[in-house]
């Protein structure tokens, strides 16, 4: 395991440094404000094509941790992550199990509790997914499938 972690750290160092430079605005831009992407970053027009290129063979390789560690897709918001996960989830054998978030608002004062429940009904709380800072109400997982929770 120690050797595998060392290989993982060495191959990802350049990628991490690139992301830090971009995040800090330190990567060089051309006259149109674009940055040059390293060769190990794929740019594709369609989401499914990206998944097919990065996770080609996942139907059988999903149990190989070393194979999985060599692959990643970066996304900027939860709706995109959910779309990517759904596409990939369908290719891994087995059944998904849905886990739901807590969907109530609590207050110490009973009157405040009633007010909060009327202002924030369960349907509303379960529908908040558009922000990249809030997790989805429903999380579908499969045994052996990778999940990143922040």
pTM over 0.85: no
Burial class (CB in 10 A: 0-12, 13-18, 19+), 95: exposed
Structure-model confidence comparison of residues 141 and 149, the more confident one: 141
Q: Which residues lie below 8 Å from residue 106, measured CB to CB, with a gap of 6+?
A: 113, 116
pLDDT digits (tens, 9 = 90+) for 77-97: 777 777 777 776 677 888 888
Instruction: Tell me how crowded residue 34 is: count the other CB atoms within 10 A of its CB.
Output: 8
Q: Retrieve residue 7's tokens.
A: 């290989």
pLDDT digits (tens, 9 = 90+) for 28-56: 888 888 888 887 776 778 888 888 888 88
């Amino acid at each position: 395991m120690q050797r595998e972690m060392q290989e993982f750290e060495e191959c990802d160092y350049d990628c991490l440094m690139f992301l830090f430079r971009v995040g800090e605005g330190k990567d060089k831009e051309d006259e149109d404000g674009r940055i040059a992407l390293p060769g190990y970053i794929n740019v594709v027009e369609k989401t499914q094509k990206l998944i097919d290129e990065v996770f080609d063979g996942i139907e059988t390789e999903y149990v190989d941790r070393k194979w999985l560690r060599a692959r990643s897709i970066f996304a900027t918001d939860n709706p995109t992550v959910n779309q990517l996960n759904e596409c990939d989830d369908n290719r891994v054998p087995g059944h998904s199990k849905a886990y739901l978030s807590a969907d109530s608002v609590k207050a110490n004062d009973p009157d405040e509790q009633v007010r909060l429940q009327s202002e924030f009904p369960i349907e509303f709380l379960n529908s908040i997914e558009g922000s990249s800072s809030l997790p989805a109400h429903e999380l579908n997982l499969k045994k052996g499938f990778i999940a990143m929770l922040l």
